[in-house]
């Protein structure tokens, strides 16, 4: 995954951008440590989690606080030790093991910036650590013998909060990684769309996506949502049917790729043939682009979310799905029947990146607007933030049934809803890097890069 492969232009960019990136991480960390009363940081990549009464572990998920230092997503029991003013130390887990292939000591664009010591196990890692003269803060999962390691604090909420808060702002290196994750994701989406048009099942569409990205499922930032027909109404639809349905109406695919630990998070919706549903997708795409056009540093994401509700309510009324004004649809909760999730979230090392609600590095949360309990981001956007923009409209039986039984029901055109139910729903999701005067659309640029002039939406 961190293999840069044959793209020498990309390798050159990563090579020159990583040094300044690491300087920024060291600077942020030094500030957070000082403000929290610590003199050193020890971060663990994570322990393999054993499966109950089995001799295998669960698929390894690296600690994001480790991955912010080094692009290593598949390396358990490794550590970063950092004392402000010195080079960070990487204790690299490389056990003698004839059952598995031990990870080779890396030689890549980032390695010259670290002191790297191979260690056979955690006990060897502890012995390789310098004497902890300063108060050391440990961040990571807690393993049994940690109590004897001499760290001052384990997962200090104050320190973690300071580190998480600043992760929203990406360095130029991180933007390079996120662009590449978008490019890989666009490759996957292109192949998935072709598989859909050729009659593939949900499972076969996922295989097409994985093959085109060159990633195995556990290397993706999240399990893809690949829903044919009414499955698109389920927000986090997790089934991968191996059989194609007898009738083919639509595909909703929410799938991203990962590069050097950074995620893309992309959703597209396709209609199998031209229909009112295809027209609704085009309306949602235009609406999503209007929303993207309003993004720049200084925008309060809560305002963007509420604007999306007004625009979605307009789309619903224009498509004759609702019969009331957009203002009334938002005020009475009718828009939330069709758009029951937040407009987007921070994106980075984690697909739903940390710190979306934080008021400041010191403390406090920014509340969500009343009636919008699932919004994951309430901060004012700053230059360097990377966010997803993902408005949707769904024909979800549970939400529709609830609305039918109360005052909202009279504002909904039910025969029209019944027409759309077999299509499931629509979500169009792009990844945006916020700039001072606007934003860079990483997703549209990635699709355009595959085929100039081309923006695959529907
Ligand atoms: Mn998303």
pLDDT band at 97 (very low <50, low <70, confident <90, very high): confident
Please check whether residue 211 is in contact with residue 191, taking contact to mean a CB–CB distance below 8 angstroms: yes
Q: What is the pLDDT of residues 308-337, one digit of tens each?
A: 999 999 999 999 999 999 999 999 999 999
Whether residues 309 and 258 share a domain: the answer is: yes
Tokens 């986090």 correspond to 236
For the chain, give the percent of residues with pLDDT over 70. Answer: 97
Distance between Cα 267 and ligand 1 center (Å):
8
pLDDT at 6: 56
Whether residues 161 and 178 share a domain: the answer is: no
Q: What is the pLDDT of residues 246-257, one digit of tens each?
A: 999 999 999 999
Distance between Cα 345 and ligand 1 center (Å):
7
231 burial level (CB within 10 Å; 0-12, 13-18, 19+): buried
pLDDT at 456: 56
Distance between Cα 264 and ligand 1 center (Å):
9
pLDDT band at 132 (very low <50, low <70, confident <90, very high): confident
Distance between Cα 107 and ligand 1 center (Å):
33
Buried b (16+ CB within 10 A) or exposed e, 61-96: ebbbbbbbbbbbbebbbbbbbbbbeeebbbbbbbee
Distance between Cα 363 and ligand 1 center (Å):
25
Q: What is the pLDDT of residues 211-246, one digit of tens each?
A: 999 999 999 999 999 999 999 999 999 999 999 999
Domain membership of residue 37 as a residue range = 8-166
Whether residues 310 and 221 share a domain: the answer is: yes
Please check whether residue 267 is in contact with residue 291, taking contact to mean a CB–CB distance below 8 angstroms: no
Query: Is 103 part of any domain?
Result: yes
Q: Is the pLDDT of residue 1 over 60?
A: no
Distance between Cα 449 and ligand 1 center (Å):
22
pLDDT at 62: 97
Query: Is 371 part of any domain?
Result: yes
Distance between Cα 271 and ligand 1 center (Å):
21
Tokens of 432: 């945006």
Which domain-ending residue is among 119, 138, 166? 166
Which domain-ending residue is among 135, 166, 197? 166
Q: Is the pLDDT of residue 17 over 80?
A: yes
pTM of the model: 0.95
Whether residues 198 and 140 share a domain: the answer is: no
Tokens of 293: 């056009």
Distance between Cα 75 and ligand 1 center (Å):
26
Q: Is the pLDDT of residue 179 over 50?
A: yes
The total of structural domains in the chain comes to 2
Nearest Cα to Cα of residue 168 among 369, 390, 381, 441: 381
Q: Is the pLDDT of residue 387 over 50?
A: yes
Whether residues 150 and 178 share a domain: the answer is: no
Question: Distance (Å, rounded) from C-alpha 93 to C-alpha 105?
Answer: 9
Whether residues 65 and 193 share a domain: the answer is: no
Q: Is the pLDDT of residue 198 over 70?
A: yes
Distance between Cα 429 and ligand 1 center (Å):
7
Q: What is the pLDDT of residues 334-370, one digit of tens each?
A: 999 999 999 999 999 999 999 999 999 999 999 999 9
Q: From residue 445, give the alpha-carbon distance in Å to each of 430, 433, 448, 450.
A: 10, 11, 5, 9
Q: What is the pLDDT of residues 32-65, one digit of tens each?
A: 999 999 999 999 999 999 999 999 999 999 999 9
Whether residues 232 and 94 share a domain: the answer is: no
Distance between Cα 388 and ligand 1 center (Å):
6
Distance between Cα 88 and ligand 1 center (Å):
33
Distance between Cα 257 and ligand 1 center (Å):
12
Distance between Cα 78 and ligand 1 center (Å):
30
Distance between Cα 33 and ligand 1 center (Å):
31
Nearest Cα to Cα of residue 292 among 306, 303, 304: 304
**CATH number, domain at 410?**
3.90.230.10
């Amino acid at each position: 995954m961190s293999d840069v492969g044959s793209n020498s232009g990309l390798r050159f960019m990563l090579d020159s951008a990583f040094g300044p990136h690491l300087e920024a991480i060291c600077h942020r960390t030094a500030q957070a440590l000082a403000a929290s009363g610590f003199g050193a940081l020890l971060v663990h990549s994570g322990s393999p989690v054993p499966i109950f009464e089995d001799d295998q572990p669960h698929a390894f998920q690296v600690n994001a606080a480790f991955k912010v230092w080094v692009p290593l997503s598949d390396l358990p029991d490794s550590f970063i030790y950092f004392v402000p003013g010195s080079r960070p130390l990487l204790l690299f887990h490389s056990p003698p093991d004839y059952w598995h292939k031990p990870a080779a000591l890396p030689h890549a664009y980032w390695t010259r910036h670290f002191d790297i010591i191979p260690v056979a196990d955690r006990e060897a890692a502890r012995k390789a650590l310098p004497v902890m003269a300063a108060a050391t803060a440990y961040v990571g999962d807690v393993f049994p013998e940690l109590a004897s390691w001499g760290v001052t604090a384990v997962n200090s909420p104050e320190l973690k909060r300071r580190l998480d808060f600043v992760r929203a702002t990406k360095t130029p290196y991180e933007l390079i990684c996120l662009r590449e994750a978008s490019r890989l994701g666009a490759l996957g989406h292109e192949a998935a769309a072709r598989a859909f048009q050729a009659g593939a099942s949900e499972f076969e569409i996922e295989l097409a996506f994985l093959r085109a990205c060159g990633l195995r499922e556990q290397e993706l930032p999240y399990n893809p949502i690949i829903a044919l027909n009414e499955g698109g109404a389920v927000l986090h639809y997790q089934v991968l049917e191996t059989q194609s349905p007898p009738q083919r109406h639509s595909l909703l695919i929410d799938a991203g790729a990962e590069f050097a630990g950074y995620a893309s998070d992309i959703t597209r919706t396709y209609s199998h043939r031209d229909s009112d549903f295809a027209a609704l997708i085009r309306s949602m795409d235009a609406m999503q682009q209007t929303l993207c056009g309003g993004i720049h540093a200084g925008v309060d994401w809560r305002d963007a979310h509420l604007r999306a509700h007004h625009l979605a309510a307009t789309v619903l009324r224009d498509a004759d799905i609702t019969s009331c004004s957009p203002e009334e649809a938002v005020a009475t909760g009718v828009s939330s029947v069709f758009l029951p999730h937040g407009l987007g979230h921070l994106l980075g090392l984690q697909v739903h990146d940390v710190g979306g609600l934080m008021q400041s590095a010191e403390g406090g949360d920014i509340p969500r607007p009343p009636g919008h309990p699932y919004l994951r981001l309430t901060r004012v956007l700053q230059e360097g933030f990377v966010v997803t923009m993902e408005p949707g409209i769904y024909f979800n039986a549970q939400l529709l049934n609830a609305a039918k039984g109360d005052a909202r029901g009279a504002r909904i055109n039910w025969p029209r809803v019944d027409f759309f139910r077999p299509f499931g729903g629509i979500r169009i999701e792009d990844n945006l890097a916020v700039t001072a005067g606007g934003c860079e659309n990483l997703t549209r640029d990635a699709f355009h890069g595959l085929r100039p002039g081309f923006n695959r939406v529907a």
